[in-house]
Structure formats: structure tokens, C-alpha cells
Amino acid sequence: MAQFCTKCGTPLTEGMKFCTGCGATFGEPSAPAAPPPPLQPAVTPPAPRPVVAGPAAAAPTASPGSPVLKIILIVVAVLIFLGLLSAGACVYMVYRAKQKVNQFEKQVHATFPMPAGTREVRTEPSAPAAVPVPTPPAGPVVDTGVPVYPGAAPWGGGGQMSLGGNTVKTQQYTTDDSVEKVVAFYKDKMGPTARVMESGGQGVVQVFGTSGVTTIGIATDSSLGKTKISISNMTK
């Protein structure tokens, strides 16, 4: 059976590998297709390692000899000292009031002696006795080194004592001005480092410095009808 070139149509004889018309080759086996590349296994990224937090830093504690503990103990001691002064002042005022009442009763008995006998005496109800005005306790005024509120009057004598190598001076004053006005005065006088606390008609102005601690307590004294100022100054 005759064969023809698929490109140019030239007749071919059996056994020919080249076309005499166009030179095309034919009859050779085609090269085998290259095998596909082997599949690479999917690489799973390693799981992130959990971060183990180190032990939390222990909160600093105040050692027995630390300055913070000393300051706390000094402030507590000052508050206790002021409380004792206030209690002593109250006891003294009650004692003075009792003395006034006893003197008044003695004067009444001396001026109007009661007659002997059983005669009925009708008396008109007397007006209630006036409450004696508390008088400031006696004692010298202590200069604490803190500015005195303008127009304030000393309320009795102050105190001075040594505590842990420090000197503590205390003095009280009274004024007719309000607690808010007194707090504003000392807030301005003690400078920007002053710590001010106000609550319930009371105020505290406190300053911590390298030379010591100054505490100014301002509160309304209902028995006096005035504002009382308690100054405590601790110096090294």
C-alpha cells in the first residue's frame, strides 16, 4: 500500500524514514512524556510554644527600719497625741462648768436662805441656766513654724515632745471663718507639694518634706461654734 508524506504529499516507499520532497522525518517513536514531579508532603508549621510567665515580682514591703514605716508610725503617734489633747480639753471644760454651777448654787443659798418650818412656798419656774462658754485651757502658745491663719486666736497652750529623734510641735487655733476658707488659705501657703483632703465639713492639709512632716487639721467645733485649726509639725 502506497504511503504519502503528511506534510507535502510526496509518495513514499516502504522503509523510508525521510521525505524526498520536504525532508520531514516520520515513523520514529515519540519521546516518552516526563513523569510528573513527586508530590511534596505538606509541611505543617510548628505550633507556637506557650509563653510561661515568670514568677510575679513580689510587692515591696516596708522593712522594720524603712523610712516609710517610720513616717507611718510618727503620723499615728501625732494623731494619738492630738486625740489625747482634745480629750483633756473636754475633761477640763466639764470640770470648769461643774465649778461654775457649784459657785452659782452657793451664791443663791447665801442670798436667799430658806426659812425653817413647813410653810408651803410656791415658786415660779425659773428660766434655764445659761450654758457657760468654754474657756481655752491654760498654757503657753507654741510656735510650730507654720503660718497662723489671719485673725485666728490660740486655743490654749500647745505641746512639744521628742519622738524617735524627731521634735513634734502642736498648737490649736480658732476662727469664725468657714472650713473651706481656711483650707484654701493653707493650700496656697504650703505650696504645690501639699496634699489636701476635704470630706464632711473637715479638711486636712499635709506636706511631706526632707526635713519632716507638717499636718494641719481643720474642722468645725460645734461646742464653740467656730472652726478649729490643729497644727502639728514634726522636724528631724
Enumerate the β-bridge partners of residue 197: 204
- Residue 96 domain flag: yes
Cβ atoms of 157 and 142 closer than 8 Å: yes
Residue 57 confidence (pLDDT): 46
High-pLDDT (> 90) share of the chain, %: 23
DSSP for 177-235, please give it.
S-HHHHHHHHHHHS-TT-EEEEETTEEEEEEEETTEEEEEEEEEETTTTEEEEEEEEEE
Residue 13 confidence (pLDDT): 74
Ramachandran region, residue 149 (left: φ > 0; alpha: ψ -120 to 50; beta: rest): beta
Residue 58 confidence (pLDDT): 47
Residue 30 confidence (pLDDT): 47
First to last CA, the chain: 131
Domain that holds residue 169: 67-105+136-235
Domain tally for the chain? 1
Q: Which residue would you say has higher pLDDT here, 32 or 171?
A: 171
- Residue 207 domain flag: yes
Statement: residue 183 has pLDDT above 60? yes
71-111 pLDDT, tens per residue? Answer: 888 888 888 888 777 777 777 777 777 777 677 677 656 66
- Residue 76 domain flag: yes
Kindly indicate the confidence band of residue 113, based on its pLDDT and cuts at 50, 70 and 90.
low
Cβ atoms of 203 and 182 closer than 8 Å: yes
Residue 81 confidence (pLDDT): 83
Statement: residue 216 has pLDDT above 60? yes
- Residue 58 domain flag: no
- Residue 166 domain flag: yes
- Residue 23 domain flag: no
The full length of the chain comes to 236
- Residue 27 domain flag: no
Kindly indicate the confidence band of residue 56, based on its pLDDT and cuts at 50, 70 and 90.
very low
- Residue 83 domain flag: yes
The three grid cell numbers given for residue 208, joined into one nine-digit string:
511631706
Q: Which residue would you say has higher pLDDT here, 225 or 92?
A: 225
